[in-house]
Amino acid sequence: MRFSFSLFAVVITLAICVPGRAQGRTYRLGSTPSEEEIKARDIAISPDGKELPPGSGTAKEGATIFAQKCAACHGPNGNGGGLTRGIVPLGNAKPVKIGFSLVPYATTVWDFISRAMPQSKPGSLTVNEVYAATAYVLYRNDIIKETDVLDAKTLPQVRMPNRDNFLPAEPGWKPGQKRPFGYYP
């Protein structure tokens, strides 16, 4: 309904005042960002890893970075401390209700370390440091080897233990459909 109405709005408005204009720009507000601006802000990484930047790192390198920039919150062995959750439960083969234990893609780990770590200075790690820190976390969870090199090609290929263990609450259900009684979640 909303979509068809929006089309209606576009058509009418075009007819009134924007002759010959292609789809969009009904109100002609906002400005066109430069390629550089988009590139600088586009930090989200998809599961297929197509946005991953060039660079690389290993768990061995990551151990050094962890000791310098992560251990203050995550503990010397990554077991966590205080209110800060540890890194070790990540990707447990047997799902349990521990925060962050259910990460399905290695790109998710890279993305979050890149945008939010370390907590004292989020986004300050270099690309190579993010690859290395990601490798260290995955190595500590027995998902990769200490010497495995993570880069834009190898990271999306890392298979997280729970990749196939996620279900929609009611298989086949889509937003907007009626659910069986009590089938919530």
Partner 1 sequence: MGSHSHSDRRRFLTRGGALVSFVMGAVRSVRGQTPAPEGIAKDNLAYGQPSKFDNTIRRTLGQATAISDTALTTPLQDLDGIITPSGLHFLMDHVKGVPDIDPKQHRLLIHGMVDHPLVYTMDEIKRLPSMSRIYFLECNANNRPIRGPNGESVQNVHGRMSTSEWTGVLLSVLLNECGVQKEASWIVAEGSDANKYTMSIPMAKAMDDILVAYAQNGEPVRPQQGYPLRLVVPGWEAIRSVKWLSRIKVVDQPYMAWHESGNNADTIPNGKGLWYRFEVGPNSVITRPSGGQRLAGRGFYEITGLAWTGAGAVTKVEVSVDGGRSYKPAELQQPVHRFAHVRFRFPWTWNGEEVVLQSRCTDERGEVQPTVAEAAKNLGVSPDYFYQADHFNGVQPWKVNRDGSISNALFL
Closest-CA residue to 132 (of 55, 62, 53):
62
CB of 147 to partner 1, least distance (A): 26
Report the SS3 class of residue 130. helix
Whether the Cβ atoms of residue 103 and residue 162 lie closer than 8 Å to each other:
yes
Residues contacting partner 1: total by CB under 8 A: 71
Confirm or reject binding of residue 10 to partner 1 (CB under 8 A): yes
From the list 56-64, 94-102, 130-138, 144-152, the region that binds partner 1 by CB under 8 A is 94-102
d(CA 144, CA 159): 9
From the list 55-63, 135-143, 148-156, 176-184, the region that binds partner 1 by CB under 8 A is 176-184
- Whichever of 59 and 102 has its CB closer to partner 1, that residue is 102
Confirm or reject binding of residue 17 to partner 1 (CB under 8 A): yes
From the list 15-23, 131-139, 140-148, 149-157, the region that binds partner 1 by CB under 8 A is 15-23
- Whichever of 48 and 146 has its CB closer to partner 1, that residue is 48
Report the SS3 class of residue 98. coil
Whether the Cβ atoms of residue 113 and residue 130 lie closer than 8 Å to each other:
yes
d(CA 148, CA 64): 16
Cross-strand partners of 8:
none
Q: Of residues 105, 131, 136, 139, which one binds partner 1 by CB under 8 A? A: 105
